[in-house]
Structure 1
Amino acid sequence: MSDTIEIERDTSTMSAPFVRPDVAMLLAMMAASGAPPMDQMPLADARDAYRMMRFVADADPTELAIVRDLTCPGPAGDIPLRYYDARESREAGPAIMFFHGGGFVIGDLETHHPYCTELAAKMDLPVVAVDYRLAPEHPFPAAPTDCEAAARWLAENGKTLGLDITGLVFTGDSAGGNLTIVVSQALMAKPAAVPVIAQAPLYPVVDSSQTGGSFTEFAEGYLLTAEAMKWFGDSYAATPGDPRNDCIHGELATLPPTLLVTAGLDPLRDQGRDFAARLIKAGVDVTYMEMRGTIHGFICLRKGVPSAQDDCDAIFRGMKAMLAR
């Protein structure tokens, strides 16, 4: 046993991490393209590049009965939303609210549109995606403030969409995974018109102070880089330790059943592992999934990384099992 511990601590003897063949191919193509990293582009160009990635690397949208743009009132004006449903009408039941990733700086309803259509189809539940304000024009806490306002609006106004909503399920990736947890914490502390019944943060950022471990091991060469995280953090300008950003410091014991997903080659992997462990210790019903051999952002890479479809299907199965409990 002591020999095993010694080997784990001696990083010089560790073998290279497992990388799926399709992930390796995508990373090689991106490296060969010569395109500058997004954090080195002008802001408008970075946002355009992120939108364009959808057409290069993501699957086509899934056909649905309803895809409708709408707005809800927010603290700084109307918040754009997009409503997805595989059915024209449905009986009373839960609704999913989705918060997109992009480091609080890039990303919008378009970047995650294919995933949201797939989420609505595979879960057979209504999905409402939130186009919250982005930094640096709107730094912290604009994003969580908008998302909480949108969640409370949906809880009270489902009937305007023809829905009888009995509970809310929050999910999102990366920055959206952070917002998933932050909004859950806010609505558990001050309940909305209907309860939060589950959450599914995907490779979330939960601790902006993280150093070492996966943050160092995968600092470059695996899509999301440490430099990009610095750019996002500087732009977002959150107060260090504020639980509305570093949600690992927020109230954990009251959180709803949680499906927490990480990617094996992600700088954020270890903080996701840590957060899942803390939730378990706090007594929360947790399902933890780590998608081995893949990278941050995989839910939006189903064409560039075909194995990501299996990962997404596993997420949907996990969410269904969580709701069935």
Structure 2
Amino acid sequence: MLRMVMLTRVIQEGLPGKRHQGPAEAGVFQGMIFEKLRLCSMPQFVRFVHDLMPLKKYPDLEIKDLRFGTIPVRLYQPKASSNTLRPGILFYHGGGAVLGSLRTYHDICCHLSKETDSVVLAVEYRRLPKHSFPVPVKDCMAVTVLFLKSLNMYGVDPARVVVCGDSIGGGLATLICQNLVDNSDLPKIRAQVLIYAALQALDFRTPSYGQNMNVPLLSLSFAFYCWSAYLNISPSWKSTVLKGAHLPVEVWEKYRKWLGAENLQERFKKRGYRQIPLGPLNEAAYLETNLVLDVQNSPLIADDEVVSRLPEACIVSCEYDLLRDHSLLYKKRLEDLGVPVTWHHMEDGFHGVFNTLDMGFLYFPCSTRILNAVVHFIEGL
């Protein structure tokens, strides 16, 4: 918790008048200034800064930059020979389709490959500002299908292919599993690893949104920016969406069985939870935002018939995460339908903490515990 306080203080001192922003959001704020000046877009600025970061070397791994079709990917393979086929991990990075890249997730992928003795394929799906929904989904699907068709080329065991992602990447990993559930022409996905995944785009009123709206590294303001930009929805609907007035009452009633706060354990509602009353329907907002009901944006509300046939899951949630309840609600859905779930809840964790794995003085021990939990799960498959 002391590191969290220090992190917040550093950012506040660096950005006068901008409270509760993490390093990612600091870059976003600076990028928005450049965007207003019409020098470059905010995502372009953030990626420029990230590309200046040096990459650590991992002598035990062979790392290749490739293209699957037109989509950039990075392949990580242990150099040591193996008498058996290795597990394969498809990794979809987070960042709200604004931040995140092969470069910023390089260390995480190296650790996953090295510590699980796996072949890791990281996907550089197209992102904002040029590409919004459904482009990232299509890119990840295309790479996944091509990889599954060429496992023998990379020495991957077709019975041990795992999809993995954090934040929006976790949501993409879930979609991949759901979209392939009826595909009998490809090897089956063995497991899904979802690290504080973004799993629904309907509801901003669950307890974690109120409890963690100002916690680094994902504030409510930045989350809504990503949501509206990714879905091509006007950000002017913010107050309407936060009150739930963008969807009809019958929609809320339909999905309450999966989204309602009553599906959460009481301990997750104790810390300052205040139920937000549903606002009256804004018909214009509904017409513009109803694509949030597409399961390609909200895999948490997929039909039981689909969810019940998904592979076993490893779910990591963090207490101080705006999206915490996504993981908790999806965990319950999977368990209720008989899908095995290994759950790790980080009581001291926050959204984006996994990326501090090799960040020196900004490192949080929680990131290592997440890595260890994921490694242990994959080794046990």
Q: Is the 8 A contact 2:159 2:190 kept in 1?
A: no
CA distance in structure 2 between the aligned counterparts of 1:95 and 1:163, rounded to whole angstroms: 6
- Which residue matches 1:227? 221
- Which residue matches 2:364? 306
- Which residue matches 1:47? 47
Structure 1 residue matching 2:165: 3-state secondary structure? strand
Q: Which amino acid aligns with 1:149?
A: A
Query: Residues 239-258 of structure 1 correspond to what in structure 2 (within 5 A)?
Result: 239-250=291-302, 251-258=306-313
**Cα distance per residue 1:240-273 (max 9 Å; x no partner):** 1111110101231111010011111000001211
TM-score (structure 1 length as normaliser):
0.84
Listed as ranges, the gaps of 5+ residues in structure 1 are 1-19
- Which residue matches 1:217? 211
Shift of 1:88: 4.4
Q: Is the 8 A contact 1:135 1:236 kept in 2?
A: yes
Q: Does 1:66 align with 2:66?
A: no
CA distance in structure 2 between the aligned counterparts of 1:142 and 1:34, rounded to whole angstroms: 33
Change (3 A) 1:136 1:261: same
Deviates more, 1:245-254 or 1:25-34: 25-34
Between 1 and 2, higher relative CO (CA 8 Å, sep ≥ 6) is seen in 1
- Which residue matches 2:141? 148
Query: Residues 34-113 of structure 1 correspond to what in structure 2 (within 5 A)?
Result: 34=15, 37=25, 38-40=27-29, 41=32, 42-49=42-49, 60=56, 62-73=58-69, 78-90=70-82, 91-113=84-106
CA distance in structure 1 between the aligned counterparts of 2:62 and 2:124, rounded to whole angstroms: 18
Q: Does 1:279 align with 2:334?
A: yes
Q: Is the 8 A contact 2:85 2:155 kept in 1?
A: no
CA distance in structure 2 between the aligned counterparts of 1:125 and 1:192, rounded to whole angstroms: 23
Shift of 1:306: 3.3
CA distance in structure 2 between the aligned counterparts of 1:61 and 1:115, rounded to whole angstroms: 13
Shift of 1:127: 0.5
TM-score (structure 2 length as normaliser):
0.72
Change (3 A) 1:267 1:144: same
Listed as ranges, the gaps of 5+ residues in structure 2 are 19-24, 33-41, 233-290
CA distance in structure 2 between the aligned counterparts of 1:115 and 1:229, rounded to whole angstroms: 23
Question: What is the RMSD of the two structures over their aligned residues, measured on CA atoms?
Answer: 2.1
Q: Which amino acid aligns with 1:48?
A: F
Change (3 A) 1:63 1:26: farther
Deviates more, 1:31-40 or 1:103-112: 31-40
Aligned residues: 295
Change (3 A) 1:214 1:287: same
Change (3 A) 1:92 1:256: same
Shift of 1:293: 1.3
Change (3 A) 1:200 1:216: same
Q: Is the 8 A contact 1:64 1:117 kept in 2?
A: no
Larger radius of gyration between Structure 1 and Structure 2: 2
Q: Is the 8 A contact 2:60 2:114 kept in 1?
A: yes
CA distance in structure 1 between the aligned counterparts of 2:12 and 2:185, rounded to whole angstroms: 46
